[in-house]
C-alpha cells in the first residue's frame, strides 16, 4: 500500500448527511460528499493486511461476509490515495457494472469483514466506491462502449432489476443482441420502484446508466409482461437463450383479523406508487398518501426503513415501526465474531428522521400485530399489538409466543406490511414448466444458473430468494457468463 501507516494516522470519517429536519422536506439524496483530501486519507486507511477479507464474498452464519462481487477493494483504495481516480474507476468496473448503485444502497458487507475492523473502525469502502463512480461521470470517463462486433445470437432477459441489468450489460459486452423485458413503464425493477429516490436518484443515477446501456445496443421493452402480453412460447422461439431475473416479488402477508380493511397495504404498493408519482409529476390513482395520518410499519429491514422515510416526507402525524425480533446489541455479541456481518443496533436514515421529528426511534421490538380495527367505513383506524417472546417448539425451532397482559391498541389510518418476500411470482414459471426448489424459487444450481429447460437460465432473487442488490449483481454476472458459454462454447466473461 502507498501509506503503510495510514490506518494509524487517520480516523474513519464519513460524509455528513443533510439534517433530518431539512431532508424530509424533499426527495433529493441525503448524503453530502467528502472533499478529495479527506477521501484520499480514507483510502490511505486501507491496510496491507495480507488476506483482504473485504472481497471474499462468502456466507457466514447465513449472512454475507465480504463483497459478493469480489470488488478489488485494496487496489482501488490505494489508487484513490495516490490520486489516480481514473485508474481506480477501471479497477472498480472490472467487477462491478454499476458501482454508483451499490455505493448508495449496498449495506457494505465488505466493511463488516474489513481486517482493520477487528479492533478499529473499518475503512470507509462504500463511500470511496460511490465517489469513484461519481467522479467517473463528472469527468466524462464513463461513456457508451458498444462491442466491436456482434455474434448474431439473441438473448432475452426477463426483468430489469439489478440481476437483469448486470446480465444484460455483460452479454451485450460479449457481442450478443440483448433485449430486456420489463412489465413496468420504466426499466430498473427494484432499483427504480423499490428503493426511494432519496436513497437512489432515478433521473440522475439509474436512468443515466439505462441510457448508457441503450447507447451500447441493449434494447429495453417496457410495459411488456412475459407470459401475458408476450407469450412464453414466443420467448423460447425468438431467442437463442433466456435469463430469468424476475425477482422475489411475492410479499409475505399478515393474515390477522381486519387484513382486508382499506388502508392496509404491502410496502411495495406504497413505495412504487410514490416513486411513480414523483417521476410522472403528479399523484396518480395508485398513490397511497401518508399525509396527516398515524402510520404503522410492520417489519424491519431496508424496506421497512424506506417506508418510514417515505411516510416522513409525506408529513405523517405519527409513526410506529413494529419489529418482531429483539433489539440488537450495541456491540458485537460473542456468537457474532468478525468477519461475520455485525448484527448490532443501528439507526438508519428513516429512523433518524422519525426520531428528529417525534423524539425517539420509532421501532418497538419483540412486538407483533394481532388485529386491524375498522372504523364505520371499512377503513383501518387502529392496530392491536402484543409483545412476544421467542421459545423453542417441540421440533427445536424458535417461534414467537404472545406474552399475556402486554396487549396495546395503537391508532393507525395507514398500515404498511414490510415483512419480506416469499419468492417469485409463479405464472411465468408455470408457463415455462420450470422446476422449483422447496421455497418456490427457480431451481438452478449456483454458479451454473441453468434450469431444467435448455437455454433458460435464472439469476438473482428468483433463484436464491430475497437478498441484497450486490448478490443480484453477482448472480446476473454469473448467469451471463454461463449463458455466453452455452451460446459460444466458451466465454471470456468473469
Note the pLDDT tens digit of each residue in 88-103.
Answer: 999 999 999 999 999 9
- The x, y and z cell numbers of residue 171, run together, are 452479454
Identify the CATH assignment for 253-419 out of 3.50.50.60, 3.40.980.10, 3.40.50.261, 1.10.540.10.
3.50.50.60
**pLDDT average, residue stretch 184-195:** 97
- Which residues are CB-neighbours of 67 under 8 A, at least 6 positions away? 54, 55, 56, 57, 73, 109, 110, 470
Could you check whether the bond before residue 339 is cis, i.e. omega within 30 degrees of 0? yes
- Contact of 416 with 297, CB cutoff 8 Å: yes
For the chain, give the percent of residues with pLDDT over 90.
Answer: 95
In SS3 terms, 302-367 reads as HHHHHHHHHHHHHCCCEEEEECCCCCCCCCCCCCCCCCCCCCCCCCCHHHHHHHHHHCCCCEECCE
With b meaning 16 or more CB within 10 Å and e meaning fewer, what string describes 247-276? bbbebeebeeebeebebbbbbbebbbbbbb
- Contact of 168 with 241, CB cutoff 8 Å: no
- Strand 408-411, strand 380-392: pairing: antiparallel
Identify the CATH assignment for 154-249+422-488 out of 3.50.50.60, 2.40.40.20, 3.30.70.360, 3.40.50.2300.
3.50.50.60
Report domain extents, the chain. Answer: 6-138, 154-249+422-488, 253-419
- The x, y and z cell numbers of residue 401, run together, are 409466543
Spatial separation of the C-alpha atoms in residues 314 and 380, rounded to whole Å: 19
Spatial separation of the C-alpha atoms in residues 89 and 22, rounded to whole Å: 32
H helix intervals, 82-202? 85-95, 99-105, 109-112, 125-138, 162-173
The pLDDT assigned to 476 comes to 98
Residue 147, SS3 per DSSP: coil
What is the chain's mean pLDDT, rounded? Answer: 96
Neighbours of 35 (CB within 10 A): 9
Place 1 in a pLDDT band, splitting at 50, 70 and 90: low
> Whole-model pTM?
0.95
**Distance of alpha carbon 257 from its chain centroid, rounded?**
31
- Strand 58-60, strand 63-65: pairing: antiparallel
The pLDDT assigned to 321 comes to 98
Note the pLDDT tens digit of each residue in 426-472.
Answer: 999 999 999 999 999 999 999 999 999 999 999 999 999 999 999 99
- Which residues are CB-neighbours of 18 under 8 A, at least 6 positions away? 30, 31, 32
The two domains 154-249+422-488 and 253-419 share their CATH topology (first three levels equal):
yes
**pLDDT average, residue stretch 114-139:** 97
- Strand 219-221, strand 318-322: pairing: unpaired
**pLDDT average, residue stretch 396-403:** 93
The pLDDT assigned to 62 comes to 87
**pLDDT average, residue stretch 43-52:** 92
Spatial separation of the C-alpha atoms in residues 485 and 240, rounded to whole Å: 12
- Axis-axis angle for helices 125-138, 73-81 (nearest 10): 60
The pLDDT assigned to 298 comes to 98
**Distance of alpha carbon 388 from its chain centroid, rounded?**
29
**pLDDT average, residue stretch 52-78:** 93
Q: Can you say whether the dihedral through the CA atoms of 432, 438, 439, 444 is positive or negative?
A: negative
Question: If you classify domain 6-138 with CATH, what class do you get?
Answer: mainly alpha
Note the pLDDT tens digit of each residue in 403-438.
Answer: 999 999 999 999 999 999 999 999 999 999 999 999
Spatial separation of the C-alpha atoms in residues 55 and 70, rounded to whole Å: 4
Amino acid at each position: 500500500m502507498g501509506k503503510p501507516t495510514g490506518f494509524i494516522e487517520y480516523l474513519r470519517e464519513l460524509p455528513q448527511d443533510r439534517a433530518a429536519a431539512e431532508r424530509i422536506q424533499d426527495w433529493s439524496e441525503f448524503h453530502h460528499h467528502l472533499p478529495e483530501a479527506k477521501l484520499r486519507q480514507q483510502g490511505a486507511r486501507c491496510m496491507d493486511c495480507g488476506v483482504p477479507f473485504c472481497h471474499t464474498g462468502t456466507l457466514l452464519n447465513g449472512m454475507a461476509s465480504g463483497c459478493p462481487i469480489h470488488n478489488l477493494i485494496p487496489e482501488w483504495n490505494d489508487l484513490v490515495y495516490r490520486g489516480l481516480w481514473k485508474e481506480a474507476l477501471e479497477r472498480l468496473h472490472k467487477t462491478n457494472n454499476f458501482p454508483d448503485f451499490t455505493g448508495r444502497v449496498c449495506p457494505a458487507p465488505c466493511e463488516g469483514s474489513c481486517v482493520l475492523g477487528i479492533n478499529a473502525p473499518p475503512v470507509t469502502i462504500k463511500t470511496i466506491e460511490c465517489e469513484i463512480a461519481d467522479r467517473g461521470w463528472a469527468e466524462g470517463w464513463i461513456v457508451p462502449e458498444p462491442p466491436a462486433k456482434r455474434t448474431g445470437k439473441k438473448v432475452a432477459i426477463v426483468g430489469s432489476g439489478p440481476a437483469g441489468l448486470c446480465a444484460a450489460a455483460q452479454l451485450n459486452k460479449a457481442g450478443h443482441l440483448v433485449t430486456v423485458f420489463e412489465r413496468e413503464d420504466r426499466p430498473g425493477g427494484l432499483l427504480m420502484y423499490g428503493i426511494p429516490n432519496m436513497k437512489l436518484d432515478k433521473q440522475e443515477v439509474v436512468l443515466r446508466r439505462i441510457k448508457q446501456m441503450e447507447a451500447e445496443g441493449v434494447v429495453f421493452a417496457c410495459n411488456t409482461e412475459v407470459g401475458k402480453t408476450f407469450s412464453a412460447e414466443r420467448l423460447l422461439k425468438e431467442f437463442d437463450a433466456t435469463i430469468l431475473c424476475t425477482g422475489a416479488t411475492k410479499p409475505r402477508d399478515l393474515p390477522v383479523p381486519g387484513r382486508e380493511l382499506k388502508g392496509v397495504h404491502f410496502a411495495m404498493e406504497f413505495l412504487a406508487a410514490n416513486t411513480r408519482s414523483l417521476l410522472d409529476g403528479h399523484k396518480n390513482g395508485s398513490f397511497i398518501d401518508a399525509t396527516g395520518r398515524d402510520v404503522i410499519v410492520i417489519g424491519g429491514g431496508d424496506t421497512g426503513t424506506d417506508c418510514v422515510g417515505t411516510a416522513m416526507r409525506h408529513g405523517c402525524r405519527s409513526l410506529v415501526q413494529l419489529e418482531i425480533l429483539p433489539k440488537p446489541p450495541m456491540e458485537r455479541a460473542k456468537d457474532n465474531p468478525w468477519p461475520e456481518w455485525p448484527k448490532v443496533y443501528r439507526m438508519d436514515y428513516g429512523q433518524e428522521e422519525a426520531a428528529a421529528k417525534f423524539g425517539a426511534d420509532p421501532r418497538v421490538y419483540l412486538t407483533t400485530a394481532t388485529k386491524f380495527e375498522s372504523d364505520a367505513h371499512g377503513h383501518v383506524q387502529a392496530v392491536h399489538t402484543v409483545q412476544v417472546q421467542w421459545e423453542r417448539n417441540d421440533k427445536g425451532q424458535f417461534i414467537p409466543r404472545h406474552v399475556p397482559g402486554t396487549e396495546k391498541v395503537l391508532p393507525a389510518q395507514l398500515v404498511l406490511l414490510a415483512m419480506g418476500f416469499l419468492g417469485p411470482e409463479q405464472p411465468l414459471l408455470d408457463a415455462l414448466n420450470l422446476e422449483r426448489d422447496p421455497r418456490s424459487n427457480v431451481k438452478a444450481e449456483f454458479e451454473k444458473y441453468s434450469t431444467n429447460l435448455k437455454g433458460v437460465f435464472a439469476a438473482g432473487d428468483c433463484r436464491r430468494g430475497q437478498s441484497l442488490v450486490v448478490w443480484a449483481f453477482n448472480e446476473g454476472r454469473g448467469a451471463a457468463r454461463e449463458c455466453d458459454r452455452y451460446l459460444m462454447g466458451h466465454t471470456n466473461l468473469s
